[in-house]
Structure 1
Amino acid sequence: MELASKRRRTSRSPSQSYKFDDEDDDYVPYVPVAQRREAKLAKLSSLSTVSDRTKAKKQLEELLEREDAEREEERQREKTRKERPLLMEAQEVHERKAAENAKKTEVEKEEEADAEILAAIASRRKLASDLELAKGISYTDSLTTSWRPPKYIRERTDEQHRRLREKYHIIVDGEDIPPPIEHFSDMKIPESMLQFLKSKKITTPTPIQLQGIPTAFSGRDMIGIAFTGSGKTLAFCLPLIMLALEEETKLPFVRGEGPVGVVLCPSRELATQTYENVLAWTGALARDGKYPQLNTLLCIGGISMGEQSHVLNKGLHIVVATPGRLIDMLEKRKFTFNNSKFLCMDEADRMIDLGFEDDVRNIMSFFKRQRQTLLFSATMPRKIQDFAQQSLIKPVLVNVGRAGAANLDVLQVVEYVKQEAKMVYLLECLQKTAPPVIIFSENKNEVDDIQEYLLLKGVEAVAIHGSKTQEERQYAIKSFKSGAKDVMVASGVASKGLDFNDIQHVIIFSMPKEIEDYVHQIGRTGRSGKTGIATTFVNMTTPEQTLLDLKYLLMEAGQKVPPFLRTIDDPRAAQGGSLKGCPVCGGLGHGISNCPKLEDAQRRQMALHRAADDGGGY
């Protein structure tokens, strides 16, 4: 063994010698200052003529003086740094900034603070699926459809389109906007659907339908903003129905196929109402036998999905859903979005703001192809519009009136009522109009107390709020809609998009903090061109900022402003600031820095973080 190892050692090839990068031929070693001076003096003495030596000596002296001055300056700086602590330097910087801020007015400071908050909001990830964000997938062109407006409308000039939009107070924004169309028949809607709409006294499109339906028929992404009761549901359901009808006609759906698209709603009640509308419209199309029956699924919590197994056993065309139950059904693979290409969010600002944003991203991750996205609401503040426009593909903004403005068909009456006198005065207010009447309160316990009081006084009343079971909520809405009950007492859950027939009077028992909620609540009356009354109780417990928002809203709508509201002054006016609305909630009486909606969102976020921290120990 020793001989073998010795033989191996002797026969091993010699080690290679490596040259490192820093051993480069171009390497120049450091030469101290003294040596450099000596070298320069030697070079100077080698010069032949006296004049050359004198000239070179002068240049050398100037160079040495500069080097000495630079070294002295560096020594002084180093000495100062050692003598003065960092705390003193930081204090000087702080004092400089304070002096600069002192020169700015209060308005300028507020505008800077608002800009910082808006920048933080704008930094949110765009509304797309995690898969699209991770892979960097982005679409540049809108979906193409087979629909085209009639030839005579296509031949109109841009000026004619602009005049028509001005006539109906429609504001649009975007590129290559489809033309507005004044008649349903020119939108190429089937005759059976036109007859059904006529039977419901819907003969001409409302402004949001006039511009919104052609935009959606063209395959464009869209943000639709219009006051409550203006026919937004038809504007986004009809394009989905026609898209599903076209797909079914090309090749009939079988079990396991579909849906073509989905409508997302923030509440079960709104989803149920939208589902019933879709059933009525698809039923009208199929009734004369010219068109196939479309299958629609209602996908909400609190109901048994087994009851709709007959729909799931066939091809599925349309899904109307709330986010939680929809995610559950998609994860269980009861159906897929593999071939879906239509997504609509009703009350879109509430969907994004009420903690549904992560759910919406989750739902989007189930889409396997490009989709057309429609966002509709009565109140869509600027920050939601900006956020949505980054997330959509070449979106068209269709706005009928200011986002967050009150319905002009509603007479708004604001009354100062002491807290202890509210219940008694409520009975007086109920005498103003014939039933049905809706009463809103922000507090669930107060909702139950009002219902109990009215029942004791012989008033047929039902109550609805988030803590009621689904059966109780459905019973309340059904009995109120049928006319079996005269009064519905409700929390905010009934204010978002729900459509009740012939509501002449809405009573707001406790004024909501956020002016958006007020706009939605009074919007339960004065729908589809009818008029209505909204009576609001306020008192010392109502925040002054909310009263200021209310004051400006009444002024904007040309309503009577009561004396106690007129006496409330806006601090921004005293500072000479601009009185533009809050970009977060649309309220006209405050800026972003003191927005109640933003404060609530931050409070919810902190509560979520605390809950996550508390659970971290397990």
Structure 2
Amino acid sequence: MAPAAVTPAAKSDDEDNYEEYIPVAKRRAMEADRLRNRRISKPAAASDGSPASLPPPPPPPPTNSPAPDAAAAKPSLLVTSTQLKRAAPEVTATEQVILQEKEMIENLSDRKTLMSVRELAKGITYTEPLLTGWKPPLRLRRMPRTKADELRRKWHILVEGDEVPPPARQFQDLRFPEPILRMLREKGIVQPTPIQVQGLPVVLSGRDMIGIAFTGSGKTLVFVLPLIMVALQEEMMMPIVAGEGPFGMIICPSRELAKQTYDVIEMFLAPLKQAGFPEIRPLLCIGGIDMRTQLDVVKRGVHIVVATPGRLKDLLAKKKMNLDNCRYLTLDEADRLVDLGFEDDIREVFDHFKAQRQTLLFSATMPKKIQNFAKSALVKPVIVNVGRAGAANLDVIQEVEYVKEDARIIYLLECLQKTPPPVLIFCENKADVDYIHEYLLLKGVEAVAIHGGKDQEERQNAIEFFKNGRKDVLVATDVASKGLDFPDIQHVINYDMPAEIENYVHRIGRTGRCGKTGIATTFINKNQTETTLLDLKHLLKEAKQRIPPVLAELIDPEDAETIAKESGVRGCANCGGLGHRLAECPKLEHEKSVAIAGSRRDYYGGGGYRGEI
């Protein structure tokens, strides 16, 4: 078939519609110019409301010079930064310190919350506290809020939280069994202490709690008696079988404190068993004791466990014990447990919980950092505070003496003459403990010593001899400063002033317990830092004690009071010291150095070794 012929008319139409080809680079340049001109020019609104036609675009500027209109329309980043700085309000030096401290606290608390890995992985959060079978009497439930607040003011009790249970002024109001009430009367405990007045109703109600009260105020009963009631209730509902348990657990930082708590539990369980109540089996789970005896109790079924973190973690890792039924957890001296020392061990223990639990934290020193961190693991917590966290016991007369390094051992004998025995002497390191112990024995003083380097039997015998009055003097490191109850101590001597003011508060709290008065003598010299001495000065000032001239001459940091008023935090939020702010905290520096070195001081009787407890 022949091709169609092209007519002249069709040929002319093709020539008229012909468009010259424009290279890609040129088309991009033209599009860029069009967009730039469109951005620079501003359409003017027509008088009749219709958009006016755009004026013809100006000729493009030379390639070597920038467009002046573009620079005027969009200032440089440097100009913008300068304008923002001029517009921003001026920040004073005090405000800068407050902002810096706030950022530091957030960084300190910016750690994984105190929850199990399963809960974190699955995003499990609990919004309501655990229900218990306990209810306060009707007259307490009907107590007006104004009367409850008046009672709290009378007892100097500060509470934070929602729906706080009313305080109970009598043990009978708490509905304890008669054998427990009888044992309290036999021990001379007739009226509850302030922390017990508010703390017991909170714990019995199933609420999570942070309890803060000075040493010797009866915090142990606040978490021991409700735990016994929980175990009784569970045993009555469904008796425990072999291999089950525990229902509740108490974790302590030292073996001595764990043994003391275990003895208190056994003291109340004995009359319950005699009265015909079901048998409740407790377990003391600490290092230094043959594990086979502990496993025998576990195999029979255990209701209550009192443990130190090391041995507890070992039993759980070997699957000799499980926490499937555990619904009650107490961290005694919680600031020392949650802090740098045992935080990782506590996290491993939390991984073994299978369901929600009631969590309680107790201590005499609970810095704001620890409170904020602990709240992440608690459900609608109630904070019960009797006095300032970290304040010294007002029943202790604090005496501070400037004694040269070489003269301390001689002056120590003079201080022992101040009061009759028993006397407790604290040192910072184990070498000084052994040296003073040997020196006192050579001088004819009946003395015993404990520190983390001694075996468990020797430590336990020393504590028993001292408590029974067979020995007059106990020389110890800080292993004996946390929570141990020596009811008749009249004098505490600090051979070394501790670097952290928290340890000082715990040490002097071994005397002046249960309403009795005591004396605490502290040796200071040039070895102590000015920050530590300022903390001590402010603690003496707060307790209305005599301030020696060597401390009175120390100059307080400028604007410290102003910063405290504006920030709402007195002193250091990390250690509770009143003589410095967070940026100069010696404890924070020590924690950093310990983290780098991977070592541990003799805080908990560990002797400096990780697995010794």
TM-score of Structure 1 vs Structure 2, range by shorter chain: 0.7 to 0.9
Where does residue 300 of structure 2 map in the other structure?
Answer: 314
Contact preservation (8 Å) 1:442, 1:510: yes
User: Of the candidates 150, 154, 171, which is equivalent to residue 184 of structure 1?
Assistant: 171
Question: Does 1:298 find its partner at 2:284?
Answer: yes
Aligned-residue offset at 1:530: 1.0
Contact preservation (8 Å) 1:106, 1:575: no
One-letter code of the match for 2:572? C
Q: How does 1:462-473 map to 2 (within 5 A)?
A: 462-473=448-459
Aligned-residue offset at 1:231: 0.5
Structure 1 107/200 Cα, relative in aligned 2: closer, same or farther at 3 Å?
A: same
Question: Does 1:408 find its partner at 2:394?
Answer: yes
Structure 1 329/58 Cα, relative in aligned 2: closer, same or farther at 3 Å?
A: closer
One-letter code of the match for 1:431? Q
Structure 1 420/335 Cα, relative in aligned 2: closer, same or farther at 3 Å?
A: same
| Percent sequence identity over aligned pairs | 54
Where does residue 374 of structure 1 map in the other structure?
Answer: 360
User: Of the candidates 55, 60, 69, which is equivalent to residue 60 of structure 1?
Assistant: 55
Where does residue 563 of structure 1 map in the other structure?
Answer: 549
Q: How does 1:72-471 map to 2 (within 5 A)?
A: 72-73=67-68, 105-289=92-276, 291-471=277-457
Unaligned residue ranges in structure 2 (runs of 5+):
1-25, 38-50, 600-613
Quote the Cα distance in structure 1 between the aligned partners of 2:53 and 2:326.
85
User: Of the candidates 468, 481, 500, which is equivalent to residue 514 of structure 1?
Assistant: 500
User: Of the candidates 582, 585, 596, which is equivalent to residue 575 of structure 2?
Assistant: 585
The DSSP-based 3-state class of the residue aligned with 1:402 is coil
Contact preservation (8 Å) 2:327, 2:356: yes
- State which drifts further: 67-76 or 460-469: 67-76
The DSSP-based 3-state class of the residue aligned with 1:355 is coil
Quote the Cα distance in structure 1 between the aligned partners of 2:316 and 2:252.
16
Question: Does 1:601 find its partner at 2:591?
Answer: yes
Structure 1 468/391 Cα, relative in aligned 2: closer, same or farther at 3 Å?
A: same
One-letter code of the match for 2:321? F
Aligned-residue offset at 1:559: 1.1
Aligned-residue offset at 1:201: 0.4
Unaligned residue ranges in structure 1 (runs of 5+):
1-28, 41-55, 610-618
Aligned-residue offset at 1:607: 2.1
Quote the Cα distance in structure 1 between the aligned partners of 2:469 and 2:486.
10
Contact preservation (8 Å) 2:511, 2:519: yes
Cα deviations by residue, 1:533-559 (Å, 9 ceiling, x for unpaired): 111111111111111101111111111
Quote the Cα distance in structure 1 between the aligned partners of 2:109 and 2:490.
41
Quote the Cα distance in structure 2 between the aligned partners of 1:460 and 1:412.
25
Quote the Cα distance in structure 2 between the aligned partners of 1:160 and 1:35.
78
Q: TM-score of the superposition, structure 1-length normalised?
A: 0.84
Aligned-residue offset at 1:36: 8.7
Equivalenced residues, count: 553
Quote the Cα distance in structure 2 between the aligned partners of 1:36 and 1:271.
81
Structure 1 253/534 Cα, relative in aligned 2: closer, same or farther at 3 Å?
A: same
Aligned-residue offset at 1:33: 3.0
One-letter code of the match for 1:237? V
The DSSP-based 3-state class of the residue aligned with 2:596 is helix
Structure 1 214/274 Cα, relative in aligned 2: closer, same or farther at 3 Å?
A: same
The DSSP-based 3-state class of the residue aligned with 1:489 is strand
The DSSP-based 3-state class of the residue aligned with 2:339 is helix
One-letter code of the match for 1:593? A
The structure richer in helix per residue is 1
Q: TM-score of the superposition, structure 2-length normalised?
A: 0.85
Cα deviations by residue, 1:219-261 (Å, 9 ceiling, x for unpaired): 0000000000000011001111100011111121121111101
Aligned-residue offset at 1:102: 13
Where does residue 20 of structure 1 map in the other structure?
Answer: none
Question: Does 1:496 find its partner at 2:468?
Answer: no
The DSSP-based 3-state class of the residue aligned with 1:215 is helix
One-letter code of the match for 1:338? D
Question: Does 1:33 find its partner at 2:30?
Answer: yes
Cα deviations by residue, 1:377-425 (Å, 9 ceiling, x for unpaired): 0000111111111220000000000000001111111111111111111
One-letter code of the match for 2:551? L
Aligned-residue offset at 1:279: 1.0
One-letter code of the match for 2:167? P
Aligned-residue offset at 1:576: 5.4
Contact preservation (8 Å) 2:98, 2:563: no
The DSSP-based 3-state class of the residue aligned with 2:100 is helix
One-letter code of the match for 2:536? L
User: Of the candidates 463, 466, 470, which is equivalent to residue 477 of structure 1?
Assistant: 463
The DSSP-based 3-state class of the residue aligned with 2:547 is coil
Contact preservation (8 Å) 1:572, 1:578: no
Structure 1 399/57 Cα, relative in aligned 2: closer, same or farther at 3 Å?
A: closer
Aligned-residue offset at 1:151: 0.5
Quote the Cα distance in structure 2 between the aligned partners of 1:34 and 1:184.
87
